[in-house]
Each structure stands twice: as C-alpha cells, then as structure tokens.
Amino acid sequence: MPSILPALEWLEALAWATAIRESNWGYPIMETAHVASIVAFAGVVMVMDLRLVGLAFAQTPLTRIQRPLFPWQMAGFALSGVTGLLLFVVDPLRYYGNVFFRVKLVLLALAGFNALGFHLTIFRKVGRWDEDPLAPTTARLAGAVSLLFWSAIIVSGRLIASNWFN
Amino acid sequence: MKTKIIVALLTAGVLGAGQSALAHHPFAAEYDAEKPVTLTGTLSKMEWVNPHSWIYMDVKQPDGTVQKWTIESSGPGAMTRRGLKKTDFVAGMSLVVKGYAGRTKPAIANGRTLVLADGRSFYIGTVGGPNDGADKQ
Amino acid sequence: MSQAYRESLWLFTVTQTLHLVAVSVFIGGILIVDLRLVGRRAVGESHAAIARSAQRVLFWAGPAVLITGIPQFTSNALRYYASPVFALKMSVLAMALLFTATLRRRVVTADNDRLPAWVPRAVGTVSLVLWMSVAIAGRWIGFSE
C-alpha cells in the first residue's frame, strides 16, 4: 500500500500552512475557534440527546427543540470541520501519528453513522412519539450512544495536545 | 440548590488538595522538576512553531563527545512578546539553555531560560512547571 | 506511594478534560435557549417551558464545571493569579451569570406577544456573546503566557 507520508509532507510544506504554523496569532485564533465551535456544537447535540434519553425537556416535544436548532448545528459542525481540517494541514505528520487524533476521527465517523441511522429510521416516524416524554427504545439508544461518543470525542481531542504515547 | 453548591465546592477542594504540588500540568508528566539542567552548546536547528517551539542543540560533554539535546520551549507568539525573533536563532551560534530534564526520555528538556551569545537572557518557558513564571528573568 | 504520585500526574489533564465535557453540556444548555431567542422564528413562540428545562441542565452541569475547574486553579494558583486573561474570564463569567439571572430570565419567561421583536434577539445575542467569551477566554489562558 503506497505511503501517505509524501502527501502529508507536501501539505506541511504549503506556504499558508507554514505561515500558520509559525504565526504569532493565526494559530492560537484558529485553534481557539476550533475548540469553541466544538464546545458549542457538541454541547447542543448532547443537550438534545438528553431529551432523547428522557433526562431533560421531557415535557417539550422533541421537534420543537430540534427544528430551530438544526441549521445552527450544521453551521457549528461546518466551522469545527473547516478549522479542524486547516489545523491538520498545519502539522499533518504530527497528527497522523497521534493515537488520540486517530481515535477522534474514528469516533467522529461512528457518531456520524449513529446520527444518520437515527435520522433515516426512527426519526422519520417522529410524529408518533414527538410528545412522549419517553422516546422509543431505539431513539433512546441512539441518544445514549451519541452522548457517549461526543464526550469521548471531546476527551480524545484534548488528549491530542498531551504528548502522551508519542 | 445551596447544598449542591457546597458539595461541589467541597469536592473541588478535595480534588485540588489531592494533587501533588509537582503535578502542575502536563509538564509534570514528561519533565522532572527535580532535575534542573544547564546546557551550553551550539544551535543545530530551531523549529519556530506552534503550539511549542523546539530548540535542537549540540552539547559538548566533558569527555569530548557531543550530545544532541531537544528542548521544548514557548510558541512564536510568546517568544515574540518576550522580545525574541526567529532570526535570533542562527545555526551554529552559541547558546545556554536552562530547564528541566525529561522524566524518561533521554536528552530532552523543558526550556526555561535562554542566554544568547550577546548576553541577552530570555524566559522561554511553556505553561506549567515549578514556580510557574516565578523563575522568569 | 509512588503509585499515588504517578496517578496525580495524570489528574490535572483528566480534570481539565472532564471540565471541557461539563463546559460543553453547560454551553449547550445556554445555547438551546439563546439560539431560539435570536432565531427567525423567535416571534410568537413561547420559550418559558424550554428555558425552565434548560435551567435544570445548567444546575447540574454548572457544579460539574466548578468541581472540575477549581482543582486546575489550585494546582497552578501562582500562574492563574498573575494571569490577566484568567481575571478577564472570571469578570466576564460574573457578568454572564448576572445577566442570565436577571434580564435574560425576564425576557425568556415573558409573554412573547408583548415584547417587540428586537428585544429577544438583543438579549439572546448578548447572552451568546458573554458565555462564548467565557469559554474562549478559558482556552486563551493557555496562549497568554
């Protein structure tokens, strides 16, 4: 299997990547934007998951919470994704080799599949259980899994900076 | 509500007290505050990068051999604020670095003070470490 | 004894990581109301029930944020004491708490038809800015050596 390393080295050498890597303010601003957008996005997702598992907002129909928030969620996810991608390009070799970065990406994919599965199946019939304080079992499961995954994503993201297991 | 706040504060206090004084920060996981080092040698390379810079220097040992040291130091923003420039680091120049040696890895240190050949001295520490900033020049 | 010492080396990073998760849930509880206030559909929709539930989330996540935040401070007291960014974070936090407990609470429990449309939008925006600034300042402490 061809090595990805030359591609990563090419990315690392890009002028703008180098500029950010050596910047006084650019990197701190980008990294802070990444952390802030994740906190906002994951925070909203996890609070909605609390509704799904029945721990909060039990008296409010799910869609009444979810519908107005959905565009903001997408914006928050887009911002985290874009800043994350840019941060990766600034130091691709370091992140590629970092176990917590790899774990974070796997967890992101899994969280995405969980969300997709939820939206394509049980959420399609939300009209039937929207007002129930206790959602159907599959919905509660999806919510619990999401809570777990997003907490783990935040944890692994923070541990990328720790230099452990380098 | 009040009870929750009191319980929260008590737990926080206990958690805080439970941390060893040397458990400052991730610094303590990699570097040993009980192993201060002073490295005198020549600069081999300086990686002026975020989030932390890396100084690579050749340190001549008493027996004539050269030991290659890696020193973790502050990022470009902090360096600039303290008066250093990327161009202050020229390969081959003499320098002195004071810091704390790594816990397990050999020839690695967390830099605290940099003294250039012209005598100028700078604090190059990263966040964490003993006396947190009190050992600034 | 050395086992306990080694464990304590991990404690700072672990508590900081848990602090991040608690902060996220707390911010989620804030945003779930603020984003409704600033959203296009704000007019005509009552926020009181959602705000009450959100407050419960804040009352659980808030202490968690405290419990995980204080040990970070005590283990690094000299540095945080001297940090202007930490002081800024605490000042903005005080403002955010005050604003949330007073003006924002009034607007959120008010009968929406009686308020001009710009009021919930303004209050939601101020709240958003205040709370996100606390979070951002928290991260910025690490960049402000």
Query: Chain B interface residues facing chain A, Cβ-Cβ under 8 Å?
Result: 26, 29-30, 48-51, 75-77, 80, 86
Residues in chain C within 8 Å Cβ distance of A162: 13
Taking the CA of residue B88 as centre, how many other CA atoms within 13 Å lie in the half-sphere pointing to its CB?
Answer: 19
Residue B13 · residue C75 · CB < 8 Å: no
Question: Which of A47, A69, A147, A159 to mutate to test binding with chain C, by most C CBs within 10 Å of its CB?
Answer: A47
DSSP code at position B108: E
Long-range contacts of C108-112, Cβ-Cβ distance < 8 Å, separation of 24 or more: C108/C33, C108/C37, C108/C47, C108/C48, C108/C51, C109/C47, C109/C48, C109/C51, C111/C46, C112/C42, C112/C43, C112/C44, C112/C45, C112/C46, C112/C47
Please give the structure tokens belonging to residue A100.
Answer: 């917590």
Chain B nearest-CA distance from C8, in A, is 5
Q: What is the domain range of residue C54? A: 2-143
> Residue A106 is which amino acid?
V
Domain count for chain C, please give it. Answer: 1
Q: Do B50 and A20 touch (CB under 8 A)?
A: yes
Is the preceding omega at residue B51 within 30 degrees of 0, hence cis?
A: yes
d(CA C71, CA C66): 9
Q: Does A163 touch chain B (CB under 8 A)?
A: yes
A-C interface: how many C-beta pairs under 8 angstroms?
93
In this prediction, residue A100 has a pLDDT band, given cuts at 50, 70 and 90, of very high
In this prediction, residue C21 has a pLDDT band, given cuts at 50, 70 and 90, of very high
Nearest residue on chain B to A165, alpha-carbon basis: B30
Please give the structure tokens belonging to residue C141.
Answer: 């402490």
Query: Does C141 have pLDDT greater than 70?
Result: yes
Flag whether the ipTM exceeds 0.85.
Answer: yes
pLDDT digits over B70-112, tens only? Answer: 999 999 999 999 999 999 999 999 999 999 998 888 899 999 9
pLDDT digits over A26-76, tens only? Answer: 999 999 999 999 999 999 999 999 999 999 999 899 999 998 899 999 999
d(CA A10, CA A7): 5
Domain B22-123 has CATH 3.30.70.270: no
Which subunits have 3 or more CB–CB pairs within 8 Å of chain A? B, C
Query: Does A110 have pLDDT greater than 90?
Result: yes
Residue A45 · residue A17 · CB < 8 Å: no
Residues in chain A within 8 Å Cβ distance of B25: none
Query: Does A78 have pLDDT greater than 70?
Result: yes
Please give the structure tokens belonging to residue A106.
Answer: 């796997």
Q: What is the pLDDT of residue A52?
A: 95
Q: What is the pLDDT of residue B13?
A: 66
Q: What is the pLDDT of residue C109?
A: 86
Q: Does B106 touch chain C (CB under 8 A)?
A: no
In this structure, what are the phi and psi dihedrals at residue C133, rounded to the nearest 5 degrees? -65, -35
| Choice among A86-95, C76-85, C101-110 with the minimum mean pLDDT | C76-85
pLDDT digits over B9-58, tens only? Answer: 777 766 665 554 444 455 666 788 788 999 999 999 999 999 999 999 99
Q: Which residue has the higher pLDDT, C78 or C11?
A: C11
DSSP assignment of B20-76, as one string?
A: -TT--TTHHHHEEEEEEEEEEEEEEEEE--SS-EEEEEEEE-TTS-EEEEEEEE--H
pLDDT digits over C81-116, tens only? Answer: 778 899 999 999 999 999 999 999 999 888 767 788
pTM metric for this prediction: 0.88
d(CA C40, CA C121): 9
Q: Does C70 touch chain B (CB under 8 A)?
A: yes
Which subunits have 3 or more CB–CB pairs within 8 Å of chain B? A, C
Strand B108-116 to B66-73 pairing: parallel
Q: Which residue has the higher pLDDT, B132 or B64?
A: B64
Residue A43 · residue A36 · CB < 8 Å: no
Chain A nearest-CA distance from B79, in A, is 9
Which residue in this structure is represented by tokens 């010492």? C5
